[in-house]
Each structure stands twice: as structure tokens, then as C-alpha cells.
Amino acid sequence: MLPGIVDHETERADAYARAARAGNTQRAYMADWAIFTAWCEARGECALPANTECVRRFVAYEADRGIKPSTVERRLAAIGHFHRAESFVAPPARPDAGRLRETMAGIRAEKGKKVSRKRAAGAQILSAMLDAYPGDGLRPVRDRAVLALGMAAAMRRSELVALSTDDITIVPEGMKVFIARSKTDQKREGVEVPVLERNGLRPKSHLLTWMAAAGHDKGWLFRRLTRQDTLTDEPTSDRAVARLVQTAARKAGLDERQFGGHSLRAGFLTESASRGATVFKMQEVSRHKTVQILSEYVRDAELFKGHAGSGFL
């Protein structure tokens, strides 16, 4: 009986260890590890534990085949993760890792380029997107609610589709949205985000309209619809949110290639920064751990305000 108990407890411990990382990160690491092990197998190299020189050649190979430096760095992090999981020292942390670090620095310097960010869906753009979904059918009602809430709460698409009806609390000022887990909340402590309702984008109104139309008061907040617009019990996917934003951009007469799921979150931050919100009030909604990233949105919003050449250009 004891071996069975030990096996069960080991499985549970492993499950908790896996839960320490967000689902998307786990999937990315698994894919990165599969790529590395296949590369090693093709060359007769040992993947676990891998020697530092082997890893150095691997990252150089990935860079040469056009993989972005950020992705190469993630591959390296994945290799380290799987080594630590088996009680091996991660290759980048070994005493002989100097040349590996130097190689990574060279990859960043030679292959690095300006990060391409999706265009922010600010208030004006979001309003046009909402107008692009007229009607009282289940699909337009749901899609308007997804767009409005996603922007108003500065939500990541994974957070948006993970919401349940229990996570929404209606208050006179608008709503309180409880986000049980996010990219920056690995301990699953959760955080409550205030969503204001005024006369602009009206996220509370759109959400209540959707919930009334869907007729559900428990379970997933945003449910998948069939092609015949029949409501299912399944949550909509994060990829569906990205497609929705792009389709809404196209219907609003914009270049859909410039938009994605992050456009909703970026839209709130850019819009609030342009209207003079402090980084600390922005942080209450966005839940960034530091204000460094938020300061970039403020800088972008104020790029031409008080320009040094305003007096003569």
C-alpha cells in the first residue's frame, strides 16, 4: 500500500510544481524542450544533462535559422527549467557558461530589432469597433461585451476568457471584476479590478445585456457560440478574442494586421495615460508588478506634448 501512496503523493507534488508556471508558459516550455531534444538526437548529443557547449551551439543554430532573440532566450530558459526539474544545474548557471552568455549577448546585438507592438484600441477606436457589431443577436451582444470589458479592465485575453459569472460584482459605480489568476500572479492570490461605468464605452451595460441575453447566472462568463449562434457550455478561447479584435478592426475600416488581443489592454493604458492618469492609478487596473512598463505607455502618450521644438518647428 505504501508504494501506491508514495506514487500518488509524488504525482500531486509534480502537479503543484507544474502549476507554479502559467499554462501558456508551460506549453511554450514543452514545445521548446521538444525542439531542443530533437536537435540533440539528430546530432547524437545528450539533452539531459546537456553540456554547456552543446547548448551554445544550439542557440547559435536557432539564431541562424531566423528565430527571434526573445524566443531563443525562452528556449534557453526552458532548457534550464527541465534541468532544474531533474536536479541538474541549468547550463546558463554553470561555472563554464561564460561563452554561452557571450553568445547570447551577440545574438541579441546582431539579430535584435525593434519590438513590433500591436496598435492600441483607445476609446475612439474601441467605440468604432463596438459600432461595427450592431444588433440584438447573441453573437453581436456577446462580442460587444467582450470588447468593452476587455478594454475597460485592461485585461489580457487569457484572463478575459477565464472569467466566471461569480467573478463579477455589480456596484453603483460600475463593476468589480475578480481575476483569479494572471501572468503576474503565479501564486493565485487573485486581484479585484474596478471597472468604471460612465457615458462612454459602457462596459457594465454591455455585460449585463449579454448576461440577460445568454440567460445564464453561473459558469463561464463568455461562452462559445456555434456557427448557428447556439450557446454552448464551453468558454470562448483566447484565440477567438484575438480574432474578434482583428475582425472588429477590419469592420471599423482599420488595418486588422495592426491589431490583436493585446490591443484591448494597451488601449486602456494608452487612453488613460493620454488623459493624464498617474501610473499608480493605471497600475490599479492593469496590475503590473512595476511601473516601468507603464511608464512606456505614458511616454508614448506624451511624446509630442511640450516638445522641445514646439517653439520653432
CA distance 122 to 270: 7
pLDDT band at 217 (very low <50, low <70, confident <90, very high): confident
C-alpha cell recorded at residue 85: 526539474
Q: Kindly report, residue by residue over 166-210, the tens digit of the pLDDT.
A: 999 999 999 999 998 766 655 667 889 999 998 889 999 999 999
CA-nearest of 265, 148, 272 to 201 is: 148
Q: Kindly report, residue by residue over 99-153, the tens digit of the pLDDT.
A: 999 999 999 888 665 556 788 999 999 999 999 999 999 999 999 999 999 999 9
C-alpha cell recorded at residue 7: 506514487
CATH numeric code, 2-111: 1.10.150.130
Q: Kindly report, residue by residue over 258-311, the tens digit of the pLDDT.
A: 999 899 999 999 999 888 888 888 888 988 877 777 777 777 777 777 777 777
Domain residue ranges of the chain, discontinuous segments joined by +? 2-111, 123-301
| In the block, residue with C-alpha cell 493605471 | 282
CATH topology for the 123-301 domain: hpI Integrase; Chain A (1.10.443)
Q: Kindly report, residue by residue over 10-24, the tens digit of the pLDDT.
A: 676 766 655 555 566
Q: What is the pTM of this model?
A: 0.66
Using a pLDDT cut of 90, give the percent of the chain over it: 61
CA distance 86 to 163: 35
pLDDT number for residue 185: 58
Phi, psi of 91 (to 5 degrees): -50, -45
